[in-house]
Amino acid sequence: MTTMMVDESAVRLDAVSKIFGNGLNGTQALASVDLSVREGEFVCFLGRSGCGKSTLLSIIAGLDVPTEGRVDVGGRRVAMMFQDANLFPWLTVAENIKLALRLSGIPKDDWDRRTGELLNIVRLRGLEKMRPHELSGGMRQRVALARSLAQECDVLLMDEPFAALDAITRDALHNELERIWLERSLTILFVTHNVREAVRLGDRVVLMHPAPGRISREMEVELSRPRRMDDAEVAVRAAVLHAELDDQIIGGEN
C-alpha cells in the first residue's frame, strides 16, 4: 500500500522569481525563492532594503504575480497589513473596521457584534467613536490590525507594521501581536529591518540577500515565549544575524 505524503504547509513558494520591466532594462527583484511555512508558524523576513521582502509579501497576498514559479496558500484566506495604517480619516475607528467587514462580505447584521469583538481583541474598546487624527501612532496601527483581522484571515502578512513607532509603543504591540497570534492560531509572515524584532517575534528568521533577492539563510529561533527585545538570548541570536548582514554590506557574500 502506498502512503500519500500530506503537505501541511500554510504557504509554499516554489522557485518564485520576479522581474520588473522587460529586456535589458528589466530588474530582477527575486530569484528562485523556495520556502515552506508551517501552519501556525511566525516567520520573520530580514534583510537590507531592496532584497525583495516586500515584493515577496505582495506576491503571496496576490497583489502581484511572479514572473516564474508558484505560490500555494491552499485556499487559505490571506490579509496584509502595511507600515502605514491607511485609515480613512473621515471615518471613526468603528467605521473603519466596519468598512473592512463589509468588503470581506460579512453580513451587515453582524457588523456591530464583530466590531466590538475586534475592538476587544486589539484593546481599543471605548475609542470606537474617535477619528484617526485623534489617535496615537500605536493606536492607529491597532485599528489597522483590527481591519486585517476583520478579513477572517488564516495567514496574516505584515510589512514593517511597527517601523515608525517609538520603542515603548513597539514593545507593547509586540506583546499584543503575540497574544493575538496564539489566540487565533494565525500563520504570520512579518517583514522587518530590525534584527532584534525578528528574533523577538519569530519562530524562524529568513535572511534575504539582495541583487537579486533570494534566501541566504534560515534560522530557527528556538527560544521560549514570552520574549523581550532586551533578553540576553535574543541579543546573542541577533548578533549572529547582524554579522551576516554586515557581510552583505561589505560584499562578503556573493
Domain boundaries, the chain: 38-65+154-249, 87-153
Q: What is the pLDDT of residue 99?
A: 96
Task: Estimate to the nearest angstrom the gap between the alpha carbon of 43 and the chain centroid.
Answer: 8
Superfamily of domain 38-65+154-249: P-loop containing nucleotide triphosphate hydrolases (3.40.50.300)
Query: pLDDT digits over 180-232, tens only?
Result: 999 999 999 999 999 999 999 999 999 999 989 999 999 999 999 999 999 99
How many beta carbons lie within 10 A of that of residue 69, not counting itself? 17
Residue 161, C-alpha cell as written in the block: 507594521
Query: Which pLDDT score, from 0 to 100, does residue 158 have?
Result: 98
The whole-number pLDDT of residue 7 equals: 60
Q: What are 191's three cell numbers?
A: 517583514
pLDDT band, residue 244 (cuts 50/70/90): confident
